[in-house]
Structure 1
């Protein structure tokens, strides 16, 4: 076969594969780290997936996937996740207490904290989406000896797509495998999209119903990590984004997660906007503690540079020190 024919054959096969497996392309793209490659993959895969799904061209692949016992990204159900099903339950009262705290007779107070030392340091887990990629290691590297932090970053994840990545299941694994005493959470950068309810209803991003469901899902996740207040959960608010559209979503997410933290013993919302903005407005540059003007945001107007991560880590470590009083 000539090189020209081989090239045409390979191109045709790749094109056919893209059409028949567009949902897998979307799934793979959503799990990529932020960047040009992810943007290009999703720019092609999402419109293609809508077309193939409408024309039922994806049905043979989904049937074969199920027949061979493999997970089907396109056919995953939101209600298969505790994040969605448990979120449909009634919320605890907005007095900082849930059922676990009341059963313990603690009056809603979280478990009394010990005093960490260099010999027995505080076990901190920094986790979330790509927003933790630079923040987590910075907290680890700048924390005092009495605080030992590790990072678990899951790119392209969030609360609105448990069919793509189930944070409820993962949080339970983190608790059982890592046994943290404090969990620092930063996520939401990928959540500016509609939420599909277990009954198939789609809640438009930014709507009141969407914000209420986002709050309920945050409560479910905070409950898993806090375990009735036996662990502390520090949920970091999203700093302003350069994009006005994205920033409006971030504002609603911050409102939702702040309200969620008020309903879970041991949970606390940390607002990073005073640290990473100018009067609540987006900025690329800020003055650091040394008086230098530093670039704090990357090109996408969402993620933090290393200097930005250092500025964000300071209030987080200050809160940890204020709560735990490490020696």
Structure 2
């Protein structure tokens, strides 16, 4: 009898081997019927069905059953690891693939988290040294120190004021020969905003862009902005930093000790303010550099828009405590009198599509609307020599 993975040879009743594909009822003349022999047709061998096979075929699995098993396994894995799927999608560049992944992963994540289905995956990750807690990130650690210095407990309300800091160093006046070094950085919101600033800035500005998709302040285990900010200062040596960050931060914060601060809660907001303070102090570098942290734009989703408003308030409060930092509210440029709208009027009076299909990100025209107040702030602070853009469009 054949065994899976090897050839088998079936024999006839008299011991003669059958030809490959041959039928025992249609043998050659060498096996012609003898006198007195029963010449009725002999049934050809039949392969037993999958659930009727002998022990020798126990290792054989039908393609349909294998497909069902793989599909079921992937489904269970998706339910247990929806947070990972969400963050994988958020880390993708905008496009159809990202939209599809997030359209599936985000609803699953909202269902599985309250049921605790993500806990086995987190425990397994912790077992292999990939604990989700932010105990090893510079941002979370520095924010914890900030909480201790201001007299607030984990997730508690800030009770102390910001420490006294020196006034920022007066900015120099850039020239075309020695332009202002500007770094535009943040999450996917900078994908269109950065190039727009680079292409429309006056000749007295040399701007570069550093976009980190899917990042934010609530998950420094995924990407640690504090550590990265130090690297940016070392590598780029910017005199001014323009920040657009927070589009992915409408989710809970896990503190180093393991406590979880639900999104939208008072403790969550205080922790976010502390993390923004940490970053602003790194980027301003003791007041020697200027930071312009732009507001999150109004979102089409009411739920997301509510988170964005809270985060804007937290960052604005943090910026007031750091010399050299400034919060830029872009809502007047990116909304219809404070309300979300896909289409807006530009300064020339033309109606343009300012937002992409997801109701969050900016189109090229939307980025042009956002870049104008940013460049105006730079021009006012640094007395930029030429207001004429380097390029149009």
Structure 1: runs of 5 or more not aligned: 67-71, 102-107
Q: Cα offset for 1:199?
A: 2.1
What is the match of residue 283 of structure 1? 341
Q: 2:250 & 2:301 partners in 1: Cα distance?
A: 12
Aligned partners of 1:91 and 1:216 also within 8 Å:
no
Q: 1:26 & 1:163 partners in 2: Cα distance?
A: 14
**Residue 32, structure 1, aligned to residue 92, structure 2:** yes
TM-score, normalization by structure 1: 0.84
1:183 counterpart SS class: strand
**Residue 80, structure 1, aligned to residue 128, structure 2:** no
Aligned partners of 1:110 and 1:229 also within 8 Å:
yes
Aligned partners of 2:273 and 2:317 also within 8 Å:
yes
Q: Deviation digits for residues 119-178 of structure 1, max 9, x if unmatched?
A: 111111111111111000000000011111111111111111111111111111111111
**Residue 190, structure 1, aligned to residue 236, structure 2:** no
Which residue of the other structure, out of 375, 379, 392, is the alignment partner of 1:317? 375
- Mapping for residues 6-155 of structure 1, pairs under 5 Å: 9=66, 12-13=69-70, 16=73, 19=76, 23=81, 24-34=84-94, 35-40=98-103, 42-43=105-106, 46=109, 53-54=118-119, 56=120, 63=127, 65-66=128-129, 72=130, 75-88=131-144, 89=146, 90-91=149-150, 98=163, 101=165, 108-155=166-213
Aligned partners of 1:232 and 1:267 also within 8 Å:
yes
Q: 1:44 & 1:285 partners in 2: Cα distance?
A: 28
Calculate the aligned-residue CA RMSD, in Å: 2.9
Q: 1:112 & 1:310 partners in 2: Cα distance?
A: 29
TM-score, normalization by structure 2: 0.71
| Structure (1/2) with the larger helix percentage | 1
What is the match of residue 219 of structure 2? 161
Higher relative contact order (CA 8 A, sep 6+): 1
Question: Aligned in 2, Cα 1:59/1:323: closer, same or farther, shift over 3 Å?
Answer: closer
Q: 2:108 & 2:281 partners in 1: Cα distance?
A: 35
Which residue of the other structure, out of 298, 301, 317, is the alignment partner of 1:259? 317
Work out the number of aligned pairs and report it. Answer: 309
2:184 counterpart SS class: strand
